[in-house]
A and B are shown apart, each in its own frame.
Chain A
């Protein structure tokens, strides 16, 4: 069983990396980009039967720093 965890900075938290990417896009001539926020994607390969609660605990205890980050869990259907 696989799951993906998307980690994003909370709204309002300054994202210097996103800002730099934004500037670089503008430098390449891409107009119309209003904002860029950078985050992380973590893919987990999990034992069958791992519960949503287990994954959430992984996020709270390590994968995300909930002071500054939000996380979203997406379970993938077995291919």
Chain B
């Protein structure tokens, strides 16, 4: 099993009456609620937490992209990843990811991801989400019915750019470039592992399988609600005659660990409820613009998690319901081990993106939960998939001799041509 410590980076100062006073946490959130001076400490706290997860031995540290969003103050995950690449040395830097249809031209993603891979010594996991309607259509103005087509073209351009050894012309529908010539290029060849985060569009399954990418189901509804969708994915894997390596798939889960179940409620309840009550308060009109979803997905009934009905459920949940319904996994290390085993086997996932910081959780509580998970939960889950031990097809391949933050000079930096005093300095 591989565990990635993920931070959505919520804004922790939404007012108590946010649901009543604001229409939506996303797209048209009142931006007067954002306080840049407070953001200084917020960003550093969140980045410190990601670095702490690296120290504790998490396999990956994860960031993602949202725009005009109260639960994600990270419109550019690449900026955060660049900071992490400099101050960590072991964990994969999982950027899950860049909404490639939004970059003009998308070669920008090929370049920035290549930079991140080089700076991190080959530790980048590259995520290519289609993007939510909130981000893609309403914030960034992409036409719903053309979003997938534009995404597909951007994907083709990036993959070709990483692979090509000579400049080529790209005559696309959305991008025309006379000289595509990716510079720099990624360390990991032919490209870093690619993860496709999906919210429930069934087309994404075939796209992942066509290209041998990891399918990451990101849902805040928890693992029990994810079963039906993940079963659909694994049916598709079987129907196509592919092996059933659990490392093909990842799942995101909110996890809170304390010494006892009661202590978990006492420590974390307030923050988890902040997340479900305030951070997921999305105006339903933004969740499904006509044209965004394909007809097949509508027919399959893959209902978006922000639909009005789900909203109502989220808004009135209690801690006990959140735990019982599997929206969150919370409790003592023993409880969390049991529930995590259930999650891992029932969804058949080799990767878990753990959301340990939740809503407006204090830094010390986040670290407490994270440390307990790393020390008292993770070791019991490492060998859940013995038949697939060492299957690293969807994982990073870093340089063995890479620059590390705690070393002032390393082999990789020593240039034999330099005079000794310069090399030493």
Asked if A pairs with B, the answer is: no
